[in-house]
Structure 1
């Protein structure tokens, strides 16, 4: 292993389930990319980007995810990378090509050696027709959230009543109408509206 490969292997091993490290690193080694551990973002769990002027694509995954969420997000973004290399950005980001790639790449990980039974059951159902955001599948989102670090002051936004105020990222919001996977929320100080995922963990006022 080169020094850089050792760095990537170590970076992956810090965040994914122990029994998945070899498989996850193997995905990187087959089609290398810049792998960045990002600070927590409420708008997304990870992302993929490739600029024509750059040799390597960049994949980021949020550092605050539990190992199972991290792994699913990692493979989700690697699927984008593989599809981009094959089609050079000429297909829909979450269309059939991405779904097929994601399902194929995820399949070796879908074992009880890697995922707890509750997550695996929900994951297997989700992977039949994966959506752009894994947390849009409420069954899978709840199964994954059970393994998040516990903060006794936090609840999911879904649990709040319409009009109730809450804190998120040290800002005060008011919950408005719920959409399919996100909630329209008003920042009290600025009056601006934001869409927040309904499974986001917040602190009620």
Structure 2
């Protein structure tokens, strides 16, 4: 490996389950992209971006996800990359092309070596017909939430926050109303509203 490849490999070693590292790296190796581990974001867990003027696409995944949620999000975005490589912007972002790509790419990861039994069972069910927001599947979200309790002992998912105020990205928010996969929140200092993913890891805030 050259220095850049080693950097990608070490980044995956840090964030995905041990037995998934080589396979996750091979996805990058087959079709390279800029891989960015992002700070926790209120509005998304990861994303895929490609501008015609850019040499490489960019895939980002939030750093505060547990290894299993990180891996699922990573593969989700890699599927977008593969679809874009073939179809550009001529198909729906989460249409049949993406679903088939996501299912194909995720299948080798769906083993008991990589995922705990409860997560694997929920993941197998979800992957039969994956939706745009992986963690909108309640059984999968709950199974992954249990793993968050080990990975982030001082944090909880927004979905399970008992109070209505929390800290994220060093800002204090207050929950306003539930949406399908997100929760409308207000950032108290600025008064700006945000749609925060229900599975975002937050720190409970008590005045």
TM-score (norm 1): 0.89
Partner of 1:197: 197
Query: Which residues of structure 2 form unaligned runs of 5+?
Result: none
Helix, strand or coil at the partner of 1:147: helix
Partner of 2:82: 82
Structure 1 residues 4 and 140, CA gap change in structure 2 (3 angstroms): same
Partner of 1:151: 153
Cα offset, 1:190, TM superposition:
2.9
TM-score (norm 2): 0.88
**Higher relative contact order (Cα pairs below 8 Å, separated by 6+ residues):** 2
Helix, strand or coil at the partner of 2:174: strand
Query: Which residues of structure 1 form unaligned runs of 5+?
Result: none
Cα offset, 1:110, TM superposition:
0.2
What is the CA–CA distance in structure 1 between the aligned matches of 2:162 and 2:6, rounded to whole Å?
48
Cα offset, 1:176, TM superposition:
1.7
What is the CA–CA distance in structure 1 between the aligned matches of 2:54 and 2:187, rounded to whole Å?
38
Cα offset, 1:67, TM superposition:
1.2
Counting only pairs closer than 5 Å after superposition, residues 134-173 of structure 1 correspond to structure 2 as 134-148=134-148, 149-152=151-154, 154-160=155-161, 164-173=164-173
What is the CA–CA distance in structure 1 between the aligned matches of 2:35 and 2:184, rounded to whole Å?
32
**Native 8 Å contact 2:40 2:169 kept in 1:** no
**Native 8 Å contact 2:172 2:205 kept in 1:** no
Partner of 2:107: 107
